[in-house]
Amino acid sequence: MNLLFAVNDGFVDQMLTVVYSILQNSWVSHLKVFVIQEKELKETAKITQFCQQNKIEYCPVVVTDKEFSDAKITDRYPHTIYYRLLAHKYLPKDIDKVLYLDADLLCINDITPLYETDVSDYLYAACSHSRLTNMTDVVNKVRLKNEEADAYYNSGVLLMNLKTIRQQVDPQDIFNFIKNNKFNLLLPDQDILNGLYGHQIKHLPDEIWNFDARKNRTYEMLSMGEWDLTWVMQHTGILHFCGREKPWKPGYFGRYSALYKHYSHQALRFWPEKDPRSVTPVIDSAPSVENRRS
């Protein structure tokens, strides 16, 4: 399984938590993690040690060019978010498929079926949150000038058909779209994805592969009470902690707060505390590939 992340040093711990949750819940014999970064991460030693301990192949991808220097960015949306749009330029040519994941996720069931989704006739596979956010697809189609798109897709979980993307995704099209729509971009890279390629995205069920952790009651209402907490724990593959409130921040009291903190603690327990006066964490080895899911 090939995974792709695009993070800065502020999200390394969260990324490792995502990877750990995948290892604990998915049938993965070999995991390769690509991390696109503007410069070598200061936390490289932590990532390397984590990957070595868990028998993961770590593949840093340092992007030194300034292709997105004029792209719209904010504190919440740095340059790194655009890199997923041009991932095919930076990843090895012999890789035909990769699963991009945001770092604010938690995988609580096997995501192998997601990775094995047939996207041969599409550029991407993704989920839409339109029914949860009251954002009408019609408005987004008009705003982004893509009438052919079936929905407005969330870019936080994105299965990429790299072989076809290399043939059809032109960087200049992306730069032109940014230039021509700079006043219409609310969620910059996500808007670009939908505006240019929304009609070439395979629709996936968000209650399974991109469950918005803020919208528990909405999911229950949509399903007439079926998609409750028990159902989520048994069926949902990916919880996505969308929005500004995050489970690693103080004061977060969402339904899945304790679950996230558990995985985060387990994922990072091998790393010594920065404060030598702190209690020494457990450093025993994580379960081997052979023993996972046992």
What pLDDT was estimated at residue 64? Answer: 74
Reported as a pLDDT band with limits 50, 70 and 90, residue 65 is low
Reported as a pLDDT band with limits 50, 70 and 90, residue 285 is very low
Asked whether residue 25 carries a pLDDT value surpassing 90, the answer given is yes
Which phi and psi (to 5°) does residue 58 adopt? -95, 125
Reported as a pLDDT band with limits 50, 70 and 90, residue 49 is very high
Mean predicted lDDT score pLDDT of the chain: 85
What pLDDT was estimated at residue 131? Answer: 77
Question: What mean pLDDT is predicted for residues 147-165?
Answer: 86
Task: Report d(CA 268, CA 281) in Å as an integer.
Answer: 9
How, if at all, do strands 105-107 and 124-128 pair? unpaired
Question: What mean pLDDT is predicted for residues 154-178?
Answer: 92
What pLDDT was estimated at residue 263? Answer: 97
pLDDT in tens, 87-127: 999 999 999 999 999 999 999 999 999 999 999 999 999 99
Asked whether residue 81 carries a pLDDT value surpassing 80, the answer given is no
Asked whether residue 46 carries a pLDDT value surpassing 80, the answer given is yes
**230 versus 143: which is more confidently predicted?**
230
What pLDDT was estimated at residue 137? Answer: 56
What pLDDT was estimated at residue 189? Answer: 83
pTM for the full predicted model: 0.86
Asked whether residue 230 carries a pLDDT value surpassing 60, the answer given is yes
What pLDDT was estimated at residue 44? Answer: 96
Asked whether residue 67 carries a pLDDT value surpassing 90, the answer given is no
Listed range (112-116, 127-131, 225-229) with the worst mean pLDDT: 127-131
Torsion of CA 114, 120, 121, 127, to 10 degrees: 20
Domains of the chain and CATH, by start: 2-291 (3.90.550.10)
